[in-house]
Amino acid sequence: MKPVTKKTTFACRKSHSEPGPGDGGRTGSWRVKRPVIDPEKCIPAKRNKPACFTCWLFCPDGVISRTIPPAIDYEYCKGCEICAEECPAGAITMVDETLFIIEEKQEEK
């Protein structure tokens, strides 16, 4: 789909766009804390059944998949913590992003 269907001289840079992942930019870079799912506690992961998915339901950015186990797309996850707050099993913990940055730097060395 091309949002601006007609080539026009004017208004060629309207703020129209095709909806889809990433249209708002790589919002994962906004994250200060990263939600990490513990498969030992996560209900669908533990039971190996399509159950619960409360995190998927509540995620305002739609970056959690309805899979076993649920996966988080860190490219776009802003780290809002709603999934961690709502998880009935307490399976999601928020981990400081700096820890991952330090890890990545050590791997580079």
Partner 1 sequence: MHIIESGNVAAASGVKLAKVQVIAAYPITPQTPLTEKLSEFVDSGEMDAQYIPVESEHSALAVCIAASSAGTRAFTATSANGLLYMHEQLQWAAGARLPIVMCVVNRGIGAPWTVWNDHQDSISQRDTGWIQLYCCDHQQIIDTVLQAFYLAETVSVPVMVCYDGYILSHTYMPFDIPEQTDVDRFLPPFSPAYALDPKQPANLNTVTLPDVRPDVRGDVAPGYMEIRHNLHMDMRAAITVAADIDRKFEDIFGRGGNPFIEPYRCDDADFVAICLGSLSYHLRDVVDILREEGIPVGVMGLRLYRPFPNQAVRNALSSRKAVIVFEKALSYGNQGALYGDIKSALYTADNRPIVHNYILGLGGREIKTHHLEKALRESCTAPDAIGDTPVWIGLKM
Which residues make Cβ contacts (< 8 Å) with residue 71, sequence separation at least 6? 64, 65
Which among 24-32, 36-44, 49-57, 70-78 is the span making contact with partner 1, rule CB under 8 A?
A: 24-32
Least separation, in Å, of the C-beta of 45 and partner 1? 30
- Asked if 17 interacts with partner 1 (CB under 8 A), we say yes
Residue 94's SS3 state is strand
| Sole window of 14-22, 39-47, 48-56, 98-106 interacting with partner 1 (rule: CB under 8 A) | 14-22
In sequence order, what are the residues at sequence separation of 6 or more whose Cβ sits closer than 8 angstroms to the Cβ of residue 83?
35, 54, 55, 58, 59, 64, 72, 92
- Please report whether residue 13 would count as binding partner 1 according to CB under 8 A: yes
Would you count residue 60 as binding partner 1 (CB under 8 A)? no
Does residue 15 touch partner 1 according to CB under 8 A?
A: yes
Nearest to 34 by CA among 101, 89, 104, 86: 101
- Give me 102's structure tokens: 């330090």
- By CB under 8 A, is residue 107 in contact with partner 1? no
Shortest Å distance, C-beta 26 to partner 1: 8
